[in-house]
Every structure is written in structure tokens, then in C-alpha cells.
Structure 1
Amino acid sequence: MKKLFGVLICGCLAGIGMPAFAQEETGIRFRKDAFSAVLEESAQSGKLVFIDCYTSWCAPCKWMEKNIFVNDTAASFYNTKFINYKIDMEKGEGPELRKRYGVQVFPTYLFVNGRGELVHKATSRMELQEFIEEGKKALDPSRAFSALEKAFAQGNRSKETLLAYAQALQRTDRNKADSVGRLLVAVLKDADLTTPVGWATIQSFAWDEEDRLGKYFTSHLNDYTKLYGAAATAKVQERLMYGALNALMRKKDSTAFFTRLSTWQRATDPALQKKALMMEAEYFLSAGDVKNFRRVTDSGLQGLLRNDDMGLGYIARRCEYLGEGNRPLLQQAHKLALRAVEIDPKEYSNQSTLAHICKDLGNKEEALQAAEAAYQLSLAETSKIQGLAKKLLDEIKQL
């Protein structure tokens, strides 16, 4: 009787115009109404609308939904401060809103007012505090994207404005972000680089050990560690190291490459050890060294990558791409892809990767089985993914 009473109450409330929500009982409460109704509520309440722009095939979108949107801290902040709305950019009103707000990547997060005007914009997967910080920026007239864009257009070139605008652009327009970032670096003096503004600039724009920011950071590493902590400086070091290793790989400087890589290989952090293994595999793959590629990836299968289907799948796809016609490489890629499917057989990309590799090897029966599994999984994805899966399945049937 209590359960029936509750159902009747909910039905009555919905019938008298209460906002409709998605089915989540916990986490951020997203409206299910038409966008016009959400804007009307925003105009009446004065609250901004937070819009999660996603697609069904977007892995970072799914990660945010699974890890951040359900978080109590995120939910408390967003449910209090915003009217929350989420929409698939490929269905219903999605394509129209995508065009209206220039959404190019997924996920994109829009913050709009009751008139539908864009106030703030950000993109990509985020950790909890970063996600909450974007909401705080939207609420701050001095830090919201639209305000920064207006200040820049009006000629404001202060260090603080350039930094905030460049950082905001990193989530929406990387080319323009780099352009504004170069303006910022040009106005910063060496004495500025250890200040909070300089440190934030290094955190956002230091990508190369050989450019001004990278060189200054490296030569003043102890100062940055004392001022901003070992954990924060380690992240910048890791990014610069990654860039240096890729540069050495392109130069085919094996001595310097493996000398630098040994730092990660000797690390106690398993995440760095895994990155070292992935980089080593990429090196041997790009060099066409089948023997050592097989040795490194076999080690990964037994250890660091044993339960990492994403890592295994990535290497397998790289192997197929770079090793076309090289049967020994494709056979190794098959081992990696097969293990990825064992770990998560319900992941579309795992089944699709295995099907492609089996097709290249001429293993029709196994290729067909994986392609059929990939096609069934694709039915929950976009029409584009479904089309690719169907095309692959048809090609294998014709072998």
C-alpha cells in the first residue's frame, strides 16, 4: 500500500508540471524535458543550465557518467547551483543544439542562461575537482568563457586574462589556445615563471624540454618542487619526458631513447612502468623489430597489461596499422586482441579489433565470430558505428 501510494503521488506531481528527471536516483539529476522547457525554468529561477553534450559511442562520456556524475560531491554542487540537462548530440534535439552551440568534440559541457546564451564552455573527461571547478568558473563573471572571450576581444592582454582565456580555450579550441598561449609566454618575464601565474602557464603549456617553458622548469625543478609540491611537478616532468621519448623515437636514436626510458622502467609506480612498456613496444613496432616487439608484449601479457584490455587493444590496433602484410606482427597482435576480448567481451572496440586482425590473417571462422559479436554490440552505438560493423561483417563473409 505504501509503495502504491508513492507511485500515485509521483504520478500526480508529474501530471501538474513538476520537472521531469532521468532515471538516476542518485548523482546529478538531469532533466528529461524539452530544451525549451529547461530554458523557461532557467529564466524563471535565474539558475544557469548545465548541459552534458554526449554521444552513445563516446568512451569519455561514459566514464564521466559512471565515475563523476554519480559522485555525491559533484551531485550536491550541480544539483544546487544549476538546472542540469543532458542530450545525445545525434538524436532528437541534439543535432540542432550541436549546430547552435558549435559542439565539435565529446563530451562538451555547456552552461547557458535562460535566454539560451552561452556563458561557459568546456570539454573532455575530467576528474572530480576539475569538473566542479568548471562549474565555479561558469558562476564567476570574471572567469566564465564568454567573459574572457569578450575581454580578449576588447584588447585586454594582462597575464591573468591571457592565462585564464588560454586555459579555457584548451577545452574548446586547441589551435587558438596555442596562439593565445604564445602571447602569454611572450609577456611573461623569467621572474614571473615561478609565480602562481607562471606555474599555471607551465602546467598548461610546457610540452617540450627544449622550449622556453620546458628549459626553465627543468633548470629550476627544485624551486618548483619546494613551492608547489612533488606530485604536481612530477606531472609536468612526465609530460616533458613523454614528448622527449617520442622525439627520440622519430630520430631513431635508440641509445638516448632507452637511456631516458630506463627512468620509467626503474620507477616504483606501476603506472609509469606500464607507460614504459607501452613506449618500448611502440619503439620496436615502429622500427619493425618483430623479435623484441614480441618479447616486450609477451612480458606485458604476463604482467603489467594482463588485465588492461584498453592497453592491449591499443597496441594490437597499432600493430595492425603499422604491420600490414607482416604476418609475425599480426600473429602477435592476435594474441593481444584475443586477451582484450577475454577481459571484456562486451566492449565493441575489443571485438572489432580482433575481427580486423583475424580478417588480415585469413582466419575466417574466428573473424566471423568476432565481427558478429562486434555488430551486435554496435546496435547500441551510433548509425555510423553500426555501418562500419556491418561493412566489416559483410567483407568477412565474402572471404
Structure 2
Amino acid sequence: MDLNRIKAIPVILLGMACSPFMLHAQGIEFMHDLDAALVKAKAENKIVFIDFYTSWCGPCKTMSNEVFPLEKVGSFYNKQFISCKVQCDDNGVGVELGKKYQVNAYPTLMYLDKNGELLHSAAGSSSAEQFIELGKIALNPDRNLFSLIKEWNAGNRQEEFVSKYFKALKTAYRGEKLNNDFAIYFNDLTDKDKSKKSTFELTQYVKPVPFSPVFTYIEENRKKYDKSVGRAQIDKYIADSYLWYLKNMIQPKNLKEYYSAKARFKAKNYPFYEEFDMFYSAFEVMDSTGHIDVNEYMKRGDAFLKKYGKNNDSYTIALTSLLGNCVGKADEGVAGIKWMEDLLQRKRDPKYLDTYFYILWRNFHFDQALEIAKEIRANAISTNQSTKTIDSQVAMIQEYREKLAKRAAENKSK
């Protein structure tokens, strides 16, 4: 046996693994220092692509595990960009960079010129094809966000452009600029243009919050929208806006502002106030530290859904989702299982199954959860959607079950 030849094999393989070709084929080549990336971008006259991510973000992991490593993605991005990863929950430079570049959602996929100025941005996970298309938009001076902002600042207020501009800002999670610029745009319109159906549709997309000038105008001028939009749609828009605006304010840091806003809402004497107030009461069991009394939450949720649950399916989804976040033991939150089963009995909408699956496994009803997972997977296949998410969740449940079984066996043997 030739021992020298055997020893040489690992060296050859190592050389292959480290070759530029193999690195390129593995996907995007990332740097982890933005300052260094900008220096390299200047030297090579390229744009910088940044993946702003956190350690806890599921969609970030999807991009990192399923999109960034693809050869076709690496082939495009390594040629066109200097790529950099920035972790925004590292308690250091990443946190500060997130603040500097106004990162409000994860992952944020951002493109900077060689001087560090924003060219384009979008948030959320995407397919490989969508991600490559996003890069092409960033490279195109006639299509990227920078060009749209420049055109807006130059005074373009044509309806088609304005729609494209505000949609680009929302996609980029530039919330502050979106709301400020839309308020300016709306204020400059004539009353006739404000009440146009197309303007209302854009307003629905931007979602100005209750008590803001734009929302208040629509609220106080409902009759002007009767012909273009219809009273029923306007009334629903106003009610839904209050419903979710106030519900989303129920957070430890916002409780004072929440109760103040709810008092202002009550003073308007809308007929749906009592229903909304009872819905909010379940979430009001949260204390100033964010702790939730689960038993009281389930008690209030039960009472509310028995009285008003059939009015809006989203009530059940919202209540069950939070309960799933708060439990993690066998039968700790079984009320949520019943809530979802009642909803699915009324309307077995495939989009509700994810929440049902979640509350099942959070209560350790693993067998039942896995049956629902089969249905979710079959629905995904029938609509040509990826099954990777549900497949990974099933794998996670099976691994978790094994750990619990092992722990139980160890405790029994003691």
C-alpha cells in the first residue's frame, strides 16, 4: 500500500474545496465588515449588497440556508456586488448599523452605492428568482428606490408614478418617509381627487393610522366617498383601522398611550366599540413586563369568541397565535385548540391551518399536529408552493419529541 499516496488525497481535496471555482459555485461570498466592504466596493466600482439579519429571524435563516448558497444566486451576486452580512442583534456594531440605515424588519436586503448611500431596499424572504430580480432593480438607475426618491423630489406627482413610489417605500419598510410623503401628497390634492377611488385604494395600501390627518379627513368626510367607494367599504375601512391599530398598541412600552388612544376611540361613540373593547380586554391581561396571565387570557378569549367570534375570523387567529406564543407544555393552552377547531368547522380555509398546527404542537398534541402538517403539505403541492417550511417544522417536532422521550426515560430510570 502506498502510504504517501493515501496521505496526499486529503491535500488534493482540500485544494479543490478552497479553489475560487468551488467557492463561487457555493453561492454568495459574504464579508462581515461593512467598512471593509465599502472600501472594496470603491476599489472595484461596485454596489454593496447587505443582508441585515438577526439570530432569531426565521425568514433570515430561510434566505441563508436556501437562497444565498445557490450557484445561480452566487453567480449573479458575486459578479455584480460586494456582499456583506450584518447581524442586528449582536449588541454591538450591527445594532448601530441597523439604526443608521433605519432597518425595521428582517431580513432587510439593502443595496448601497460605493459611498454608502442607499440605492434600493426590500424586506422579507424571497425565492432565488425574486432575489436576483431585486438585484437587477437595484442596479438599474431608472428603477431603484434612489431614482424614485429623486424623481419625487423633482416634483413628479403623476398618479401612476406616485403609486409606484409609495409601494416601493412600503416594500423597503421606509415607514416614516412613506407616511410623511403620503400626508404631503394627500394634503395637496383637491377634495375631488381625495375622494377618487384610486386615491382611496392607495390610502388603503399606505394605511395611515387613526388620529392621523389623512385618516381623520376620510373619517370626517365619509359621505364624499359614497359614490366612488361606497359607504359599506368606507365604514369597514374605518372600523378595521381602529381594531388593529389599538390591538397592536397593547405592548408593555405602549400601555399608557394605548389607554389614552382607546379613550379617544370610545369618545367617538361608534356602535362597534363594545365589541372591540371586549376583544382588547383579553390582551389587557399583559402586565408592564410583558407577562401574560394565561388562564385569565383564555377565560376572556372564551367569553369574547362565544359572543363575537363569528363576526370576524381574524379574532380567532389573533387570540390563538398569541396563546401559542405563551404556552409550551402539555395541554397548557387547550382553549386555543378548541378556538381553532370551532373556526375550522365553520370555514376550513387552508390559510388557517398554520395557526391550528402551531397551537397543537405547542400543547404537545404532536400526532394531531403531524396530521395537519400532511394537509398543509398537500395544499402547498396542489398550488405549486414550496413545502420546505412545513417539512422543516415537521422535522423540528420529531426531533423535539425524541428529546422529550429521552428526558422522560432518564427521569424514570433515576
TM-score by length of 2: 0.49
* CA distance, structure 2, for counterparts of residue 100 and residue 245 of structure 1: 31
Q: Corresponding residue for 2:374?
A: none
Larger-Rg structure: 2
Partner in structure 2 of residue 52 of structure 1: 51
Superposition pairs for residues 1-399 of structure 1, below 5 Å? 4-8=11-15, 26=26, 28-32=27-31, 34-70=33-69, 74-91=73-90, 93-126=93-126, 130-170=130-170, 171-184=172-185, 187=189, 189=193, 201=202, 204-205=205-206, 243=240, 250=276, 278=317, 295-298=338-341, 311=355, 336-339=362-365
CA distance in 1, matches of 2:153, 2:277: 41
- Separation in 1, partners of 2:311, 2:205: 23
Q: Secondary structure at the match of 1:338?
A: coil
Per the alignment, in what secondary structure is the counterpart of residue 84 of structure 2? strand
Q: Secondary structure at the residue paired with 2:52?
A: strand
What is the number of equivalent residue pairs in this alignment?
Answer: 292
- Write the deviation string for residues 187-225 of structure 1: whole angstroms up to 9, x where unpaired: 59599867xxx79947834799x9899988977xxxxxx
Distance, in Å, in 1 between the alignment partners of 2:51 and 2:95 is 14
User: Which residue identity is paired with 1:337?
Assistant: N
Q: Partners in 2 of 1:201 and 1:280 — Cα distance?
A: 29
Which AA in structure 2 matches 1:143?
R
Q: CA deviation at 1:83?
A: 2.5
Residues of 1 paired with 2:35 and 2:131: CA distance? Answer: 25
Q: What displacement does 1:145 show?
A: 2.6
Q: CA deviation at 1:32?
A: 3.5
Kept after mapping to 1: 8 A contact 2:111/2:138: yes
- Letter of the 1:296 counterpart: W
How far does residue 52 in structure 1 lie from its aligned partner after superposition? 0.2
- The whole-number CA distance in structure 2 between the counterparts of 1:242 and 1:132 is 39
Deviation at 1:50, TM superposition (A): 0.7
**Unaligned stretches of 5+ residues in structure 2:** 1-7, 210-217, 231-235, 245-271, 279-303, 322-332, 371-392, 409-414
**Superposed displacement of residue 51, structure 1:** 0.6
Alpha carbons 1:206, 1:214 under 8 Å: kept? no
User: For 1:98, what is the secondary structure of its paired residue?
Assistant: helix
Distance 2:100 2:126 in 1: 24
**1:203–1:6 Cα change, 3 Å:** farther
Task: Give the deviation of 1:111 after TM superposition.
Answer: 0.9
**Distance in 1 separating the partners of 2:348 and 2:118:** 44
Give the TM-score taking structure 1 as reference length. Answer: 0.50
CA distance in 2, matches of 1:313, 1:291: 13
Question: Is the 2:137–2:143 contact (alpha carbons within 8 Å) kept by the matching residues of 1?
Answer: yes
% identical equivalent positions: 23
Unaligned runs of 5+ in 1: 220-238, 265-274, 283-289, 317-334, 352-365, 371-399
Question: How far does residue 313 in structure 1 lie from its aligned partner after superposition?
Answer: 8.4
Number of the residue aligned with 1:373: none
C-alpha separation between the residues in 2 aligned to 1:164 and 1:7?
50
Structure 1 vs Structure 2 CA RMSD: 5.8
- Structure 2: how far apart are the matches of 1:190 and 1:86? 43
Equivalent-residue separation in structure 1 for 2:73 and 2:226 (angstroms): 37
Residue type of the partner of 1:311?
Answer: T
Q: Deviations over 1:75-105 (max 9, x none)?
A: 5543443222223234475245334434343
Secondary structure of 1:136 counterpart: helix
Separation in 2 of the partners of 1:140 and 1:216? 41
Task: Tell me the alpha carbon deviations over residues 48-86 of structure 1, each in whole angstroms, 9 at most, x when there is no partner.
Answer: 111101111122312333444355665554344322222
Distance of 2:128 and 2:227 partners within structure 1: 30
Closer/same/farther in 2, CA of residues 112 and 280 from structure 1, 3 Å limit:
closer
Q: What letter corresponds to residue 7 of structure 1 in structure 2?
A: L
The answer (yes or no) to whether the contact 2:54–2:89 under 8 Å persists in 1 is yes
Task: Name the structure 1 match of 2:247.
Answer: none
